[in-house]
Structure 1
Amino acid sequence: MKKRKVMRIDILSRINDEKIGALNVLAEILVKDYLRIAKHIIDDNEMQRKKVKSSKTVYSLLRNDLKQGCTIPPIFLAVRKEAIDENEDEYLQNITDDEIKESIRDKKLIILDGLQRTHQMLALEDELKKTGDKEALDKFHTRRLRVELYVGINKIGILYRMLTLNTGQTPMSIRHQIEILYQDYITDTKIEGVELLREVDGPKTIGVGRYKFSDVVDGFQSYLEKNELSFDRATLLDDIKSLEKLSKKGQKVELFQQFLKSFHKFMEKIEEISDGWEFSKSDYTDDFVQPFGRNIANFYLRPQVITAFGAIVGVLEENDVLSDFDELCDKLDDLVIGGDIYEVYYDFLSNLEHIRTTSKKIGNSQRRYFYHFFKSLLNINDESSLNVRKAVKKARQMYNVEFL
């Protein structure tokens, strides 16, 4: 049996965080021991962000400061859920210092704040090993580092703390925050021919059947709220309690699947009736300096489009125009382009170019235009129903009435 390496961890204080229902523990640990843990945290935790590439920034200066014994702010960690007993309240009331230390040694942790500092400490460790400066390495390794550990924190608490702690140069993106809330859907959503791509996976080519998870969640959130507009960091903090109801495992999963299935059905059908359409300057002259999209995936797989789709489906359901997603999927079988493909997309691009050149808030205006587009396209009581050409023209009329 392999003997576990001795790791010195000193517990300094314990405070209950009543806001998020977790135990906050202040501890000190040797830099060497923390870095041994940190390597596992970064490699094994799929929720953790990637290293920020920076050579001439504050991070490169930090490595020099660390060499000179500069102290740094505490690293904030959270014990992962699987390390907690089922009876969480009783566990937190009775947990001992030794059990807290054991949870740290077991490396079932998430870095809430201090990820980039951790990367720079690891980089300095590698640098000192490569140069062979054993004296400097030993001195660095034996310095003490303060960590704040949250024990018993749930997914909402993790997000809340990430939001409130991340005020530095590289805050977690809104999309990554949303992915944390809805991460259960990644494994629970199994739709044939559909792959969900996460931000932590890095850049991957999107297309019909390959969707950004955060974009789909944006659309689903728009469906639930019947509002196509995006929400920012402050809004996410304000709405944390309502989002908690949707993030629990098992809740809304089937509804999320149905939403994704219907959007996928739309993408399959629009790709089919668009017959391989692609933007070409030779076809469209110089009318479009910055065309909204250059092919079907590039055109429709944008947050502006999927949030508008979600918002209008929610509105149509509320108004009893649509009964459910199954009815929507059935109706999408009858979707038609309604005219010459070149002319339809010329009008589409013209409308979006007009928005780009006249709107002060382009993204929101594009969302609103697509809201009107889907309202015309998916409303069975509208003369433009299931006809892309007619819906494009009707959307421009409705947009002009609203904004001009």
Structure 2
Amino acid sequence: MIGIVVDENGWGSVPGLASPMAVRKVLDDFKDNLSIIDGMQRTTALIDARSNSEDVGHHTIRVEVWIAKTSESLIYRMLVLNTGQVPWNLKQQLEVVYAPLVNTIASKVKFTRLLTGSDRRWKGGEFKTDSLIESYIAFGLRRTEIDTQENLADEFSRLDVADALTGRKYDQYFYRVVQMLVDFDIALSRLNEVVDPQTANPDDGDDGVEKPQRGRQMNRGRNIFDSQAARVGFIVACAVSILGRIGMDKDNEDSEKNCAALEDKCSNLIAEMAKKNEDELNKFIALDVLSEKLSKRPSSAVGRWERNYFESAFKILIEEEFSVPSLEPCWRA
């Protein structure tokens, strides 16, 4: 089954798709937003068979097309179709709808720059697209412990993500939380900002590979969200505050109220940070305290510890309504 995300004009033409040629035209018009949402193994088998025999390419096959207005609809359909089967892990499944999902995030969040491939992060507001996919999962599951190398497509994970999709929680809140993350990251990055990447030390830019914070130099404000652990910690802390914990979901009215309050308080903090000079900003961010705390982390389960640590740190910031004299109380979580 092929999934496709269309715009309003394309959606208006859907009722008139009465012939295979009409469907093919839509597929051709939106080919950049095509995804295989079911039948990946069969597709791989067909490709292998055709490579062994050109005659296979002359056979007629049935292809179903699922046309949607949002990438969330494709992801929900993908989860439903794969229920009860031997599944891929959840990250692999989301990567199938990678392009439409990233396009949706890019259209709803104002990044400084979206990074792909070998791009390096030099400034606040720059994020790798694959890190956003993991953040997407973390938001739906409302937990930081996501082992993307293991099979996360268990029934509970499916239900949790499906619930977030059907309740339109991604559309209503996820993108707003990511925007808060981007804006906060930009504000933090004013401290010792890399002005010209062309003349900077090549080792200073972040390559997007998750490494323990102790292996990084923590001398720039940007270094905080260089870490995927910090990014996921912020996303999950906000998600729990807005939506409640899994099994203790808040109603839409409370969630909207909480999200609006977070946006307002975060915006106020960013405005206050903008007024600070370099020395004041340095004292406020308290990188020395954070570095010391991270240097004393346990030697085992480092990734899990860092994610839980940053979730706790940002939970304090949220509980204090972003009104703190410095980030030191957060880093001492």
TM bracket, shorter-chain basis? 0.5 to 0.7
Structure 1 pair 263/170, CA: closer, same or farther in 2 (3 Å)? same
- Structure of greater Rg: 1
Match for residue 206 of structure 1?
Answer: 121
Higher strand share: 1
Question: How do 1:133-212 and structure 2 match up within 5 A?
Answer: 136-137=53-54, 139-144=55-60, 146-154=61-69, 155-163=71-79, 164-165=81-82, 167=86, 172-173=91-92, 176=95, 180-181=100-101, 183-191=103-111, 194-197=112-115, 201-209=116-124, 210-212=126-128
Percent identical: 14
Distance 1:374 1:188, change over 3 A: closer
Q: Write 1 or 2 for the structure with the bigger share of helix.
A: 2
Asked whether the equivalents of residues 139 and 235 of structure 2 are also in contact (C-alpha less than 8 Å), the reply is yes
**Pairwise CA RMSD:** 4.8
Identify the residue that residue 369 of structure 1 maps to in structure 2.
309
Q: Does the aligned pair in 2 maintain the 1:292–1:299 contact within 8 Å?
A: no
Q: 1:115 to 1:219 in 2, by over 3 A?
A: closer
Distance 1:217 1:169 in 2: 15
Q: Is the 8 A contact 1:77 1:110 kept in 2?
A: yes
Q: Secondary structure at the match of 2:308?
A: helix
Question: Could you tell me how far apart the structure 2 residues matched to 1:391 and 1:170 are?
Answer: 33
Q: How does 1:300-379 map to 2 (within 5 A)?
A: 300-312=225-237, 315=241, 318=258, 323-332=264-273, 333=276, 334-337=280-283, 344=289, 347-352=292-297, 354=298, 356-357=299-300, 359=301, 362-375=302-315
Q: Which amino acid aligns with 2:12?
A: E
State the shift of 1:242 in Å. Answer: 2.7
TM value normalised by structure 1: 0.51
Q: Deviations over 1:107-140 (max 9, x none)?
A: 3453223457656755775x67xxxxxxx53x33
Q: List alignment gaps of at least 5 residues for structure 2.
A: 29-33, 147-151, 195-200, 205-210, 243-256
Unaligned runs of 5+ in 1: 1-75, 129-135, 280-288, 396-404
Change (3 A) 1:312 1:246: closer
Contact 1:379–1:385 under 8 Å retained in 2: no
The partner residue of 2:12 within 86, 89, 93 is: 86
8 Å Cα contact 2:233/2:314 also seen in 1: yes
Q: Displacement, 1:304?
A: 1.9
Using a 3 Å threshold, how does the CA distance of structure 1 residues 256 and 195 change in structure 2: closer, same or farther?
A: same
Aligned residues: 276
Secondary structure of 1:141's aligned partner: helix
Deviations along 1:375-403, whole A, 9 cap, x unmatched? 55677699984144x643x22xxxxxxxx
Residue 264 of structure 1 and its aligned partner are, at CA, apart by: 2.5
Q: List aligned pairs for 1:110-129, cutoff 5 A.
A: 110-115=35-40, 118=43
3-state secondary structure, aligned to 1:107: helix
1:261 to 166, 183, 193: 183
Give the secondary structure class of the aligned counterpart of 1:183: helix
Tell me how far 1:243 sits from its aligned partner.
2.8
Provide the C-alpha distance between the structure 1 equivalents of 2:68 and 2:319, rounded to a whole number of angstroms. Answer: 44
8 Å CA contact 2:181, 2:231 repeated in 1: no
Does the residue aligned with 2:37 lie in a helix, a strand or coil?
A: strand
